[in-house]
Chain A
Amino acid sequence: NAGVTQTPKFQVLKTGQSMTLQCAQDMNHEYMSWYRQDPGMGLRLIHYSVGAGITDQGEVPNGYNVSRSTTEDFPLRLLSAAPSQTSVYFCASRPLEGNSGNTIYFGEGSWLTVV
């Protein structure tokens, strides 16, 4: 049971480069989201989606784009990387209904360094 799968696990970028963090889930969850984790700041929501074709901004969306063309995939794009985007990124998903509809499931994280 794969759950939420993120790739790559580690990445080093130069300032100004672009890249895409991949996220896939095999649980047929409607809701998917991206968080970044920084020391002393907990998890901050970047973007989220409640279904294919629907995305919305979280609290720190600037510098990131997302799309949701299928239920399974929710890639996060960094358009022009900046050192302030050095962080650990987590993809997460949950169903919107049912008994476990409020529990969120996380991937293992992607460690990104921008130099």
Chain B
Amino acid sequence: GNSVTQMEGPVTLSEEAFLTINCTYTATGYPSLFWYVQYPGEGLQLLLKATKADDKGSNKGFEATYRKETTSFHLEKGSVQVSDSAVYFCALLNTGGFKTIFGAGTRLFVKA
């Protein structure tokens, strides 16, 4: 079946540090891949996505590249800010499927 595995948190970084949150997936087809972000007390919102192999999604300084050979979609940001403190979810939607499958989420704390 389809599944998403992402690194456990929490991740604690100082402001301006480099961020990587690892995400790997298992899927029977050719899924679309997503990163969603959840700020405290809010619902999830789309951060970025990629729909085919080697695509790079980017938004707000965050990037992730769809790597089919390693079944990965790692999230990166070169310089984090305090305002990036949130929970980050990796997700997939398989081609022709209805259900979006989410990872367990990784909580990020950024210290000033």
Please tell me which one of the listed residues A42, A43, A102, A106 contacts residue B93 in the complex, with CB atoms under 8 A apart: A102
Q: A43-B89, A102-B32, A108-B43 are in contact. Are A48 and B98 (CB under 8 A)?
A: yes
Closest to B93 in A: A102
Please tell me which one of the listed residues A40, A45, A90, A102 contacts residue B44 in the complex, with CB atoms under 8 A apart: A90
Interface size on B, residues (CB 8 A): 19
Judge if A104 is at the interface, Cβ distance under 8 Å: yes
Mark contacts of A87-114 with chain B using CB atoms, 8 A cut-off: 1 yes-contact digit, 0 otherwise: 0001010101000001110111100000
Judge if B69 is at the interface, Cβ distance under 8 Å: no
Q: Is A31 a contact of B98 with CB atoms below 8 Å?
A: yes
Q: Is B42 a contact of A42 with CB atoms below 8 Å?
A: no
- CA distance in complex: A58, B101 (Å): 10
B98 shortest CB reach to chain A, Å: 6
- CA distance in complex: A92, B89 (Å): 15
Judge if A50 is at the interface, Cβ distance under 8 Å: yes
Q: Is A43 a contact of B102 with CB atoms below 8 Å?
A: yes
- CA distance in complex: A32, B99 (Å): 10
Judge if A2 is at the interface, Cβ distance under 8 Å: no
Q: Is B103 a contact of A106 with CB atoms below 8 Å?
A: no
- CA distance in complex: A41, B46 (Å): 19
Interface size on A, residues (CB 8 A): 24
- Determine the main DSSP class of A at the interface with B: strand
Please tell me which one of the listed residues A42, A48, A90 contacts residue B99 in the complex, with CB atoms under 8 A apart: A48
Which residues of A are found within 8 Å of B89, using beta-carbon distances?
Answer: 42-43
- CA distance in complex: A109, B104 (Å): 17
Which residues of B are found within 8 Å of A48, using beta-carbon distances?
Answer: 98-99
Q: A48-B99, A102-B51, A103-B34 are in contact. Are A42 and B105 (CB under 8 A)?
A: yes
- Sampled A-B contacts (14; CB under 8 Å): A40-B104, A43-B89, A90-B44, A94-B100, A102-B32, A102-B34, A102-B51, A102-B93, A103-B46, A104-B46, A104-B93, A104-B100, A108-B41, A109-B43
Interface, chain A (partner B; CB < 8 A): 4, 31, 33, 35, 40-43, 45, 48, 50, 56, 58, 90, 92, 94, 96, 102-104, 106-109
